[in-house]
Amino acid sequence: MGEVTICSSSKYYGVVQSLAGELVDRQVVVNTPRFDFDEEIVEVRAEQKWALTHEFLGKVRRSACIYVVAEGGYTGRSVCIEIGFAAALDIPVFISERPLEEAVNALVSEVVSIDDAPDFLTGLLNTVERS
């Protein structure tokens, strides 16, 4: 089964952890942000941010798709970079809610609610594996 990378603002790490747990229970390989660098809790220095950004883009690069948790359509700067990177690599971008930013919306493959994401992503990744 292919990998999925979940992208999100640190504001929504609780949702990401819950979704990642559900997917792992279904034998899906899930890449997530580094929860130990939650900018809501700790200060992330510039050099750490640089390293984390490149590390995460590596996760995106090896993924069959990305899933963005975007409550209220919010993506944030880092997630916008991740979406653009995935789109440039022809990696499908799925998002929990329609993004507020139209330029981001132009790169989204499909809106898939958080509730529907486990079934949708598992089915998609099983299909990708068989192709």
pLDDT at 13 over 70: yes
Residue 7, SS3? Answer: strand
Distance (Å, rounded) from C-alpha 59 to C-alpha 72?
Answer: 25
Supply the pLDDT for residue 131.
Answer: 52
Mean pLDDT of 114-119: 98
Supply the pLDDT for residue 34.
Answer: 74
Supply the pLDDT for residue 130.
Answer: 53
Supply the pLDDT for residue 50.
Answer: 86
For residues 94 and 32, the model is more confident at 94
Residue 53 burial class via C-beta count within 10 angstroms: exposed 0-12, middle 13-18, buried 19 and up: middle
Mean pLDDT of 10-38: 87
Architecture of domain 15-130 in this structure? 3-Layer(aba) Sandwich (3.40)
Domain borders along the chain are 15-130
Distance (Å, rounded) from C-alpha 71 to C-alpha 99?
Answer: 9
Is this structure's pTM higher than 0.85? yes
**Tens digits of per-residue pLDDT, 61-105?**
999 999 999 999 999 999 999 999 999 999 999 999 999 999 999
Averaged pLDDT of the chain = 91
Supply the pLDDT for residue 8.
Answer: 94
Question: How confident is residue 4, by pLDDT bands cut at 50, 70 and 90?
Answer: very high
